[in-house]
Amino acid sequence: MWMAPHTGSVTKLPTPPKSSFASDNVAGAHPLVLEAITKANAGHFPAYGADPITVRTEQAFKELFDHDVVTQFAYGGTGANVFALASMLRPADAIVCAAQSHINVDETGAPERALGTKLITVPTIDAKLRPQDLESAKSMFGNQHAPQPGIVAITQVTELGALYSVDEIRSLSEAAHSMGMFMYLDGARIANATAALGGTRQTLRSFTRDAGIDAMTFGCTKAGGIFGEAVVFFNPEFAKRSLYVRKQVTQLHSKMRFISAQYEAMLQDDLFITLGGQANKSARMLFEKTKDIASLQLTSAPAANSMFPIIAKAPRAQLQEWAHFYDWDTAIDQVRWMTAWDVTEPEIDAFVAGVRTLLA
């Protein structure tokens, strides 16, 4: 149960929800994931990915993408991003990304420190890159005094809750590849994106394999997992390097089966899509129940599982004490609400009741 930070008594608001609307990272694990972990714990197995669970799960990823992908497991999101990018980078390569991307604003400079690379950031309104955003990189090519743009990194779903369409990713990939750059997709919320864009395996393939992605992360933690991340390589050159790079960047887990077991459960009957869809549905429900509150300035339904309402400082502080959620852009009084896979309608109603008490 989520416990809000206690900074004083609040008597005006109703009973707070048991669920948190701060992040999808705060939810527990799905029962099938816990069951898979328990089964993986029975007995002794080879280490470093040679166990039968990891071997089966690697094959399951090939079937998921209907492609001879190489899948490597890592500890978490930031580590997986560093690992994947390290497997892709060439000497002097830089990474083009949206200014609001996770690798730029939420990883404490990890890619730059760990990899010795440079992030070339592009300001955008929705944290999505477009082909024209790559034009400025052209002047750097061949200049020995400039970093060489080598990778275009995108996030699906973006940090601002936006979704790339299949055509948007394909167009961006075509532009990047025509300039000699490779495409990387941070898929920490790949479950939400897949559910939102169609909800099938072919949906997933359409905006990854078929859209020109060279490597990607496939998130689990935010969609009902415990820990760990999968890095999927479509480009065989990067896949070959990754076997050694993973150890170098400290992402090789000895008891690999405890990560891969979670993914085996998630891929079975496409559980990850189901859970991503549940989180998205809850966000839409929250939107529908609050969109009439004019001060929130909720003008469009969430694309996935996040919303960014406007709440003035005084009521915001009281609401956050009552049921914690994060500030997003304090300059405009913007906050973030996010729904996890296990949020129920009664919990949404409890949260909305508090919001309405102060704002409606």
Contacts of 66-71 with CB under 8 Å at 24 or more apart are 66/201, 66/205, 66/209, 67/205, 67/209, 67/234, 69/209, 69/232, 69/233, 69/234, 69/239, 70/232, 70/233, 70/236, 70/239, 70/242, 71/218, 71/230, 71/231, 71/232, 71/233
Q: Are residues 208 and 108 in the same domain?
A: yes
- Any domain includes 3: no
Please report where in the chains the tokens 């560093």 appear, as a residue. Answer: 82
Domain range for 98: 31-271
Q: At 334, which CATH number?
A: 3.90.1150.10
21 assigned to some structural domain: no
Of 226, 242, 271, which residue is a domain's last?
A: 271
Same domain, residue pair 45 and 156:
yes
Residue 1 in any domain: the answer is no
Domain boundary among 271, 296, 324: 271
pLDDT tens by residue, 8-65:
554 479 999 999 999 999 999 999 999 999 999 999 999 999 999 999 999 999 999 9
Q: Pick the last residue of a domain from 231, 256, 271.
A: 271
Same domain, 294 and 252: no
Domain check: are 222 and 305 in the same one? no
Tally the domains of the chain: 2
Q: Which residues are CB-contacts of 255 (< 8 A; sequence separation ≥ 6)?
A: 47
- Does any domain span residue 96? yes
Give the domain CATH number at 174: 3.40.640.10
Residue 206 lies in a domain: yes
Same domain, yes or no: 260 and 342: no
**Structure tokens given for 327:** 């500030």
Domain annotation covers residue 8: no
Are residues 300 and 230 part of one domain? no
Q: Is residue 11 part of a domain?
A: no
What whole-number distance in Å separates Cα of residue 256 and Cα of residue 252?
Answer: 8
Q: What is the pLDDT along the chain (360 residues), one digit of tens a residue?
A: 455 555 555 447 999 999 999 999 999 999 999 999 999 999 999 999 999 999 999 999 999 999 999 999 999 999 999 999 999 999 999 999 999 999 999 999 999 999 999 999 999 999 999 999 999 899 999 999 999 999 999 999 999 999 999 999 999 999 999 999 999 999 999 999 999 999 999 999 999 999 999 999 999 999 999 999 999 999 999 999 999 999 999 999 999 999 999 999 999 999 999 999 999 999 999 999 999 999 999 999 999 999 999 999 999 999 999 999 999 999 999 999 999 999 999 999 999 999 999 998
Domain-embedded: residue 303: yes
Please check whether residue 112 is in contact with residue 118, taking contact to mean a CB–CB distance below 8 angstroms: yes
Identify whether residues 90 and 195 lie together within a single domain: yes
Q: Do 83 and 179 sit in the same domain of this protein? A: yes
Residues 231 and 86 in one domain: yes
H helix or E strand, kind and range, residue 209: none
Same domain, 239 and 285: no
Indicate if 88 and 176 belong to the same structural domain: yes
Q: How much is the pTM?
A: 0.95
Same domain, 183 and 48: yes
